[in-house]
Amino acid sequence: MDEELKCPVCGSLFKDPILLPCSHNVCLACARNIIVQTPEGETPPHNRASNSDYDYLDMDKMSMYSETDSGYGSYTPCLKSPNGVRVFPPTLVHRHCSITCPLCHRSVSLDERGLRGFPRNRLLEAIVSRYQQSRSANVKCQLCDRNPVDATVMCEQCDVFYCTPCQQRCHPSRGPLAKHRLVPPTQSPVAGGQQMPTATLRKQGTCADHDTVNFSMYCINCKTPVCMKCLEGGKHGSHDVKPLAAMWKQHKCQLSQALNGVSDKAKDAKEFLVQLKNMLQQIQENGVEFEACLVAQCDALIEALTRQKAKLLTKVTKEREYKLKVVRDQITHCTMKLRQTTGMMEYCLEVIKENDPSGFLQISDALIKRVTSSQDQWVKGALEPKVGPEFDLTLNTDPLLQTIIQLDFVQSKVESATVPSAPLLQLEKCCTRNNSATLAWRVSVSPSNPIEGYVLELDDGNGGQYREVYVGKETVCTVDGLHFNSSYNARVKAYNSTGVGPYSKNVVLKTSDVAWFTFDPASAHRDIVLTNENQTVSCNSYDDRVVLGTAAFSKGVHYWELMVDRYDNHPDPAFGVARINTMKDMMLGKDDKAWAMYVDNNRSWFMHNNSHTNRAEGGISKGATVGILLDLNKHTITFFINKQQHGPVAFENLEGVFMPAISINRNVQVTLLTGMEVPKNFKQQ
C-alpha cells in the first residue's frame, strides 16, 4: 500500500492532499510547485472536459485540455523531485494559471480561488495517519546486525528506518543523500504536543464555497458533496441530489462488491506465484538431470565412434602392412634378378672384347642361350608394381554426418497425435520443361494435427541416392538445373509436430533430350545488345564482349549453332563454353574459365587460358553457321564451320558446370539456334 499513499511529486507520504479533477492526489505544497501560467486572456481551445466527464467543474472558470494539443500547461523544469517528477517555483498569482496532473498529464485551469478550489482529501489524510501510527509502534532499525534497537528516523526516499548510529554511518546528511528527507518514525498530526486520536481526524467536511456549512447532500450530476446553501441558490440548485449518508452507503457497497472480484483475482495471483516459484525449483532440478543425461548419451556416442575408429584404423594398418610387404618382396626379387642380369651382361661384354675366335665360339652358344633365357625372365608385367599406392578403402561418412547434423530432441507426442499420411502426387500437374521439373501433390489434413511442411526428394537422374531439393509449406515445386536427357525419380513426404510421415509413391520425370535456351541478359556485359527474344546478339563496342546462355551443362552431349547475320571488317568472334564467372570484357578463351574457337574470314584457332592451338583453314562470312558440340562424357569440344568439322579437342579441366558462350564486337551479329541434335556427319577421332 506504500505506493498508494505517496505523493507523485515529492515521493513522500501525502501531507494535506488535495483531489484533482482527474481523481489523482497531490500534496498541497507540491501543487503550489507545479502551477504554470497561461497567456492572459487565452483559454486552451482543444480537449475541453465534456459535461459527462467533468460535470462538477464550472466551465466558465475552469477548462480541461491536453498539453499535447497546445503549448499551454507544458513543464518548464526548474527543480526535480526525488521520484523524477518535475517541480516548479511557487506561483503567487493564480489568475490565468493551470496545474497539470503529474500522473495522467491532464491540465486544469485555476479560478480566482486558486488551489482552494480543489477539495481536501480528508479520507486519504486519515488513512496516511493510521498507516504512520501502525508503522511507528516499536519500529526497529533495519540496518542493525544484531539486537536491533528502536529507530529514531526514517528516510522517506529510501523508505528505511535507522537508529542514530546507523543513520550517521549509512545515511550521512551530505553528498547525494543531503536532499533526502529524514523524519521521525511517526508523522501523525499533533495538537498541543499530543498525538491526536483517530476519531479526531474524521471530522465532518465543510463546503469549499461555504466554509462554515457542513456537507449534507451529494450532487449526482457533478459527482461531489454539496451543502444546503449550494442547493438553495448555487449552481447545484437544479441538479439531481441525494442525501450524503445514503450515497455514502451505496458507494461503499459498490466498492465492496468490486473488491470481492479483485480479491479473488489477487488470491489466484498469489497461488499462481507460489506455483511459479515451485516451478523454478523443478526447472532447475530437471535441467541439471537432463544435462547429465544428455552428456551421458553424447559420451556413449563418442565412445562408440572411438571404438569404430580403432577398428577402421586396424584395417588401414593391415592394408598398409600388406602393401608394404608386397612391394618389399618385389624390390628384393627385382634387385636379385637385376644383379644377376648385370653380372651376366658385364661378363658377355668382356667375352666380346676377346680376339680369340676359337675360344669365343666354344662358349658363345651357351652365352647366347643364357642371355635369351635371362631376357625371357623379364616378361610383361615383371616390371609393373603388383600393388598401387592408393588404398582400396573408401569410408562413406556422409550418412553418419547427416544423421549427426539432424540429431535433435524429439518433442513429446500427444497420445492422440499422429504423423501425416503419405502425400498423393498429382500426375496431371507433374511435368518437365527443358531441364526443369514441376511436381504437385496433395494430402488429407487432420484439424487436430496440422501439417507444418513437406520434403521433396529427387535422385541424381541415374538411379543414385535421393537428396532433398525442397523443404517448405507449398504443394507445388519447380526444380531447375537438372541434367538434360535424364530420368529422375521423385518422392515427397509431409511432417508435423508429431513427426515425419511416409513417402509418397515414386514418379519418374524425364528431362528434354535436347537443350532449348537463349542468351542471358542478366550475365551479359553492359555493351551487349539482345533482341529477337534474347536469341540475337550484337555489341555497341569495338572491343570483344562476352554473353552467356541460360542453360547450364554438367554431363551428357549437347549441340547448338549460331548463324552469322552480319560480319564486317574481318573481326574475330569466339564461340564455345565458359563458367559463369568468366571475364566478360575480353575475348572468350583468354582466361582459364572459358574454352573456345575464335575465327576470322580465313582460319580458326582453339583457345583456352590465352593459349592458341589447332590452327585450321576455313573462316566465316555473312550467312555462315558455327556449330558447337560439347561432350562432357569424354571432356571434348568440337566445332563445325558450315558443317565442316574442326576437332574434337580435349581440354584440361573440362569438368564441372558450363554455359554456352560467345564473344563479339560491333562488327558482328549472330542468332542462336537451339534444340538441335548431334550432326550425323560427326566423326569421333
The mean pLDDT of 465-469, rounded to a whole number, is 91
pLDDT, average across residues 381-392: 82
State pLDDT tens for residues 287-338: 898 899 999 999 999 999 999 999 999 999 998 998 899 999 989 988 988 8
C-alpha cell, 207: 463546503
Pick from 136-145, 294-303, 672-681: least confident: 136-145
User: In which element (H, E) is residue 490 found?
Assistant: strand 487-495
Could you give the residue ranges of the DSSP H alpha helices within 105-183?
Answer: 122-136, 164-170
- Structure letter (DSSP) for residue 278: H
- For 262-296, write each residue's pLDDT tens digit: 888 888 888 888 888 888 988 998 889 889 999 99
The pLDDT value given to residue 258: 81
In angstroms, how far is CA 175 from the centroid of its own chain?
48
Phi/psi for 402 (5° steps) reads -65, -40
| Cβ(562)–Cβ(539) below 8 Å | no
- CA–CA distance, 224 with 218 (Å, rounded to integer): 6
Average confidence score pLDDT of the chain? 81
For helices 244-353 and 357-377, give the axis angle rounded to 10 degrees: 160
pLDDT per residue as tens digits for the range 429-462: 899 888 889 999 998 777 777 889 999 999 988 8
pLDDT of residue 76: 39
pLDDT tens-digit series, residues 187-236: 433 333 333 333 334 456 677 677 677 777 888 888 788 887 777 766 77
Question: What three-state secondary structure class fits 429?
Answer: helix
Q: Cα(91)–Cα(17) distance, rounded to whole angstroms?
A: 18
Give 42-81 pLDDT, tens digit per residue: 544 334 433 333 333 333 333 333 333 333 333 333 444 4
pLDDT band at 547 (very low <50, low <70, confident <90, very high): very high
pLDDT band at 383 (very low <50, low <70, confident <90, very high): confident
Q: Where is pLDDT greater, at 632 or 191?
A: 632
Residue 46 has what pLDDT?
Answer: 38
| Residue bearing cell 501525502 | 14
Please state the pTM of the whole predicted model.
0.39
Per-residue pLDDT, averaged over 364-389, amounts to 81
Q: Which residue has the cell 484533482?
A: 20
Residue pair 512/487 in contact (Cβ under 8 Å)? The answer is no
CB 121 within 8 A of CB 17: yes
